[in-house]
Amino acid sequence: MTGVHTAYYLVHSMGSSGSFEEQDRQAARNFAASARQAGVRRIIYLGALGAEGQSLSAHLRSRQEVADILRSSGIPIVEFRASIVIGSGSLSFEMIRALVQRLPVMICPRWVGVKAQPIAVEDVIAYLLQALKLPVGDAAVFEIGGADQVSYGEIMQEYARQCGLRRWMIPVPVLTPRLSSLWLGLVTPIYARIGRKLVDSMRNPTLVRKPSALKVFDIRPRGLKDAIERALHNENLEFAETSWSDALSSSGRPRSWGGVRFGTRLVDSRTIDVSVPPAAAFAPIRQIGGANGWYFADFLWWLRGFLDLLLGGVGMRRGRRNAQTLAVGDALDFWRVRTFDPDRRLGLVAEMKVPGRAWLQFEVEPIGAQPDSQESTIRQTAIFDPAGLGGLIYWYAMYPLHQWIFGGMLRAIAVRAEIEARIKHS
């Protein structure tokens, strides 16, 4: 922290297998001591809402205890207290999303009716950034939340509505935090131990009681409907811009049947090396689709397009605008171009009828550090965000066929790239 003026503290240890409260305390003490030694002039901390004096859960108590430990450093603390954050990666939001996606009928314990004041991740970031403009030396606690006070059940219903899913919710007076966490562990990607801590904290309303943040900052947080719309929209942009090769290589998770899971998304990725430079390796990718075909099992691609037409989709009739090049926004059979970096990356989003959202991405990188490398790696990545149980069944039912088609297509692209490179230089 040497030379740091303002330090942000965003650490939480709830995913630990041991005592997360003790790990939170130790981490906060270490941070506070290092900040004081380095001469940091301000700490901005993101904690959790929960009325003081209530019988708070261990999770919410720990969030507020961390703030007290940071204050003990003597450094002015700007503390933000938030309810559930609406956006990818937020543990509460991912839990709600997974429940809605997977369960057409939900048995809802009492915590589903507890009120919260969800806030969009963009609004949280806006508060964190504007805190930099506060006068140095000022310490404050700001409660932040969105425009709506809603129950967890209402958040689930709004998410379902925007995803086109119909969900039935049956309230029951039982299901203890332990039973609820075990249930969550079975039907969501979240470990049961984290689910138990989350559910335990959900018995406490998390509402803004002191709206001073609205007077200090020129931020007007959006409501639940807009927050979920923005979260889904930003995910689309993220998929268009993400290099899944980076995500896969850094995940540290072994490849498993059905692909690697990132949140609710399923990712199937494969690579092949070719003895041609990146521009030559990318040439067949640039020309894919339309009259050029998909290089492998074209009959099945045509059949998929025909079935899409029968279901009211766009089918394969659109072809492509130009046989040799592409641009962002171009239609490409039943795909649309979302990213196009010449000689490097092509990202497609599916516009066919499919129970979820689907993307297909091709990336080409030189082998070795030399920019004029004569060898390249082609990566092909299929991403699917299933809509409910039907989407999951579709993905796993089609997975063997997709393995055969996508694997054959990648090998055919590699062969064509090497053949065209030889013809060009003959």
| Per-residue pLDDT, 252 | 47
Rounded Cα gap, residues 76 and 32, in angstroms: 11
pLDDT of residue 400 exceeding 70: yes
Average pLDDT over residues 49-63: 74
Query: Based on the domain organization, do 150 and 279 belong to the same domain?
Result: no
pLDDT of residue 245 exceeding 80: no
| Domain that includes residue 106, residue range | 6-235
Lowest mean pLDDT among 11-15, 333-337, 342-346: 11-15
Average pLDDT over residues 141-151: 95
The tally of domains found in the chain comes to 2
Q: Which residue has the higher pLDDT, 360 or 62?
A: 360
Query: Based on the domain organization, do 23 and 134 belong to the same domain?
Result: yes
| Domain annotation covers residue 1 | no
Residue 408 binned pLDDT confidence (cut-offs 50, 70, 90): very high
Average pLDDT over residues 37-47: 95
| Domain annotation covers residue 123 | yes
Helices (H), 329-387: none
DSSP 175-209: --HHHHHHHHHHHSSS-HHHHHHHHHHTTS-B--S
| Per-residue pLDDT, 381 | 92
Average pLDDT over residues 170-187: 66
Q: Which of 235, 262, 293 is the last residue of a domain?
A: 235
Query: Based on the domain organization, do 12 and 145 belong to the same domain?
Result: yes
In this prediction the pTM is: 0.66
Listed in sequence order, the residues at least 6 apart from 354 whose beta carbon sits closer than 8 Å to its beta carbon are: 394
Q: Which of 235, 250, 283 is the last residue of a domain?
A: 235
Kindly report, residue by residue over 57-100, the tens digit of the pLDDT.
777 888 889 999 999 999 999 999 999 999 877 878 877 887 78
pLDDT of residue 113 exceeding 60: yes
> What percent of the chain has pLDDT above 90?
49
pLDDT of residue 21 exceeding 90: no
Residue 250 binned pLDDT confidence (cut-offs 50, 70, 90): very low
| Domain annotation covers residue 251 | yes
Average pLDDT over residues 212-226: 95
Query: Based on the domain organization, do 289 and 350 belong to the same domain?
Result: yes
| Domain annotation covers residue 330 | yes
| Domain annotation covers residue 80 | yes
The torsion angles phi and psi of 274, rounded to 5 degrees, stand at -130, 150
Per the rule left: phi > 0, alpha: psi between -120 and 50, beta: everything else, 260 is beta
Q: Which of 11-25, 126-140, 237-251 tops mean pLDDT?
A: 126-140
Query: Based on the domain organization, do 25 and 108 belong to the same domain?
Result: yes
Lowest mean pLDDT among 36-45, 99-108, 155-164, 374-383: 99-108
Query: Based on the domain organization, do 195 and 296 belong to the same domain?
Result: no
pLDDT of residue 425 exceeding 50: yes
Identify the H or E element spanning 274: strand 265-274
Average pLDDT over residues 401-422: 93
| Domain annotation covers residue 288 | yes
| Per-residue pLDDT, 17 | 58
Query: Based on the domain organization, do 206 and 314 belong to the same domain?
Result: no
| Per-residue pLDDT, 61 | 84
Query: Based on the domain organization, do 159 and 292 belong to the same domain?
Result: no
> How far is residue 217 from each of residues 123, 126, 132, 136, 340, measured CA to CA in Å?
11, 9, 11, 16, 39
| Domain annotation covers residue 277 | yes
Query: Based on the domain organization, do 334 and 398 belong to the same domain?
Result: yes
Average pLDDT over residues 234-260: 58
Identify the CATH number of the domain in which residue 250 sits.
3.30.530.20
pLDDT of residue 51 exceeding 80: no
Query: Based on the domain organization, do 59 and 188 belong to the same domain?
Result: yes
Q: Which residue has the higher pLDDT, 249 or 145?
A: 145
Q: What average pLDDT does the structure give for the chain? A: 85
Average pLDDT over residues 376-402: 89
Listed in sequence order, the residues at least 6 apart from 361 whose beta carbon sits closer than 8 Å to its beta carbon are: 244, 339, 345, 346, 347, 348, 379, 380, 381, 382, 383
| Domain annotation covers residue 18 | yes
Query: Based on the domain organization, do 207 and 257 belong to the same domain?
Result: no
pLDDT of residue 239 exceeding 70: no
| Per-residue pLDDT, 195 | 60
Identify the CATH number of the domain in which residue 160 sits.
3.40.50.720
Residue 391 binned pLDDT confidence (cut-offs 50, 70, 90): confident
Q: Which residue has the higher pLDDT, 257 or 293?
A: 293
Q: Which of 180, 200, 235 is the last residue of a domain?
A: 235
Listed in sequence order, the residues at least 6 apart from 298 whose beta carbon sits closer than 8 Å to its beta carbon are: none
Would you state the torsion angle of the CA atoms of residues 395, 398, 400, 403, taken in this order, to the nearest 10 degrees?
Answer: -80
Query: Based on the domain organization, do 271 and 309 belong to the same domain?
Result: yes
